Amino acid sequence: MRVLAPLLVLMLLAPLAHAQSLGETLQECPGTLTGSTQPQQIHLQMTDDASVMNVVWASEGRSTGEVEWNGQTAASTDFCYNHDMAFHMASMTGLVPGEEVTYRVSSGGDWSGEFNFTPIDSMDDHFQWIAIADHGDSSEAMDVSESIIADTAAQMVTISGDIAYADGEQSTWDNWFNFQQDSMTSIPWVAAVGNHENEPGYEFSPYEHRFDSDGQSESEIFWYSRDFPGVHMVFMSTEHDYSEGSTQYSWLAQDLASVNRDVTPFVIVYGHKPMYSSNSYHGSEVELRVALETMYVTNGVDLVIAGHDHFYERTFPVAGDTVVDTGKDGRFARGYAPIHLVIGIAGRSSYEELDEPQPEWSAFRENSSYGWTKLKYHGDTKELAFTHHRIDGTIGDEFILQVAPLASNSDGGIMGIPGFGTILPILAMFGAAVRRLR
């Protein structure tokens, strides 16, 4: 049996600033009483304030930590859960959006190397990011990660759930974060929770301790939103109650109704399970659609980005199972109904069987590729460009969503009827509701 040195015992018995008590540590993660305090799994975590960026890291041994940036320092909050790794979170404050920050972290006096990041300026005219879902640690997932690391133009990564696929094996999380560290130390990864984050024996605790959306350690917030150049992004949970009257439903309604479209003309909702999917493995989450589709349509949501089914699919703008616009030459004018995307292609084995015939609302689908998706906002033209990249270097799908009406539709309506584009989704959803009641 290993014996702790008396001095170390005294250090451990002393209260640690911003830390869990020794009793909590002994109960939840006793293995952290010894071990290396060298920082690992370092990852940025965005806040709702562009002048503040959190950084989270892990160490084998329990210790106090700190972050040093641009000549300033701040102590960390130190915590753990039922896994023998210690975690640390610290806030870098007073940041200037658009100006590069150099930082490093330490735990127990052991320092990391230096890293750099640039806080996103919400007033920029251009913004680009990568979106993935259903990742894990397969060889294909590592190919996707390598592509993300190599993309020095991307300013952020979003992931629509099913992140590491730990499924109760916590070292999988450790390995996953260490592999993504080259990306996560320079750009933030922003997550929506998926069903594989609800782990046997742990529930959502690992996710809560490793990702932060509210500036608090052990966060229990599973829905939140952020503003970026030209885009308001909503991260909701398909794994928690979203029915009318629920806390999440009320929050979604309030958040979507408060968007200033002059500042952020595009709205994207991220969640794990899809409202529309023609994959035979899971398929459309009809309960989700019944609960929230009307809210999304009436509030002008432009894109809904999901995973869960391990394939790629893009819909036309659709409401109530009805196509409301088919676009022109790969372009769509926003404001008719959401385009739904299933992008569960970041590394998990493909779900091969598809529903036949292909639904009318399904614009493009493929079930045997892996890759990632890239989105670019252009403020000068008020356009959002989307590209589905395969890991073999080819492009699978692409389209452009624009604020302005299409050239052939200059009055803003469909079929030459002014305003019809706004009415049609509501009529389609009404018709779908009638069909469900028959």
| Residue 429 pLDDT exceeds 80 | no
- The answer to whether residue 22 is domain-embedded is yes
The reported pLDDT for the residue numbered 128 is 98
What is the tens place of the pLDDT at every residue in 78-104?
A: 999 999 999 999 999 999 999 999 999
**CATH code where residue 398 lies:** 3.60.21.10
Domain count within the chain: 2
Length, in residues, of the chain: 438
Spatial distance between the Cα atoms of 157 and 180, rounded to a whole number of angstroms: 11
Q: Tell whether the torsion through CA atoms of 357, 274, 290 and 288 is positive or negative.
A: positive
- The answer to whether residue 2 is domain-embedded is no
**What burial class does residue 166 get, using C-beta atoms within 10 Å of its C-beta: 0-12 exposed, 13-18 middle, 19+ buried?**
buried
| Residue 4 pLDDT exceeds 90 | no
pLDDT band at residue 8 using 50, 70 and 90 as cut-offs: very low
Identify whether residues 220 and 100 lie together within a single domain: no
- The answer to whether residue 7 is domain-embedded is no
| Residue 424 pLDDT exceeds 90 | no
Identify whether residues 365 and 262 lie together within a single domain: yes
Return the H-helix or E-strand segment holding 181: helix 170-184
Residue range 277-284: average pLDDT?
98
- The answer to whether residue 425 is domain-embedded is yes
Identify whether residues 139 and 98 lie together within a single domain: no
Identify whether residues 106 and 147 lie together within a single domain: no
Identify whether residues 241 and 308 lie together within a single domain: yes
**What burial class does residue 14 get, using C-beta atoms within 10 Å of its C-beta: 0-12 exposed, 13-18 middle, 19+ buried?**
exposed
Domain extent for 110: 18-117
The reported pLDDT for the residue numbered 36 is 95
Domain end point (choices 117, 151, 181)? 117
**What burial class does residue 228 get, using C-beta atoms within 10 Å of its C-beta: 0-12 exposed, 13-18 middle, 19+ buried?**
buried
Domain end point (choices 117, 138, 171)? 117
- The answer to whether residue 10 is domain-embedded is no
What is the tens place of the pLDDT at every residue in 28-61?
A: 777 787 899 999 999 999 999 999 999 999 999 9
What is the tens place of the pLDDT at every residue in 289-343?
A: 999 999 999 999 999 999 999 999 999 999 999 999 999 999 999 999 999 999 9
| Residue 410 pLDDT exceeds 90 | no
**CATH code where residue 32 lies:** 2.60.40.380
Identify whether residues 132 and 151 lie together within a single domain: yes
| Residue 413 pLDDT exceeds 70 | no
Identify whether residues 149 and 92 lie together within a single domain: no
Domain end point (choices 117, 152, 177)? 117
Average pLDDT, the chain: 89
Identify whether residues 32 and 165 lie together within a single domain: no
Contact 348, 136 (CB under 8 A): yes
Residue range 244-267: average pLDDT?
97
Spatial distance between the Cα atoms of 105 and 401, rounded to a whole number of angstroms: 40
The reported pLDDT for the residue numbered 212 is 79
Identify whether residues 224 and 133 lie together within a single domain: yes
- The answer to whether residue 302 is domain-embedded is yes
Q: Which two tokens stand for residue 336?
A: 């008719």
Contact 245, 201 (CB under 8 A): no
The reported pLDDT for the residue numbered 10 is 30
| Residue 154 pLDDT exceeds 80 | yes
- The answer to whether residue 200 is domain-embedded is yes
- The answer to whether residue 9 is domain-embedded is no
Identify whether residues 316 and 210 lie together within a single domain: yes
Identify whether residues 386 and 294 lie together within a single domain: yes
The reported pLDDT for the residue numbered 371 is 98
Identify whether residues 202 and 96 lie together within a single domain: no
Residue range 202-218: average pLDDT?
83
pTM of the model: 0.90
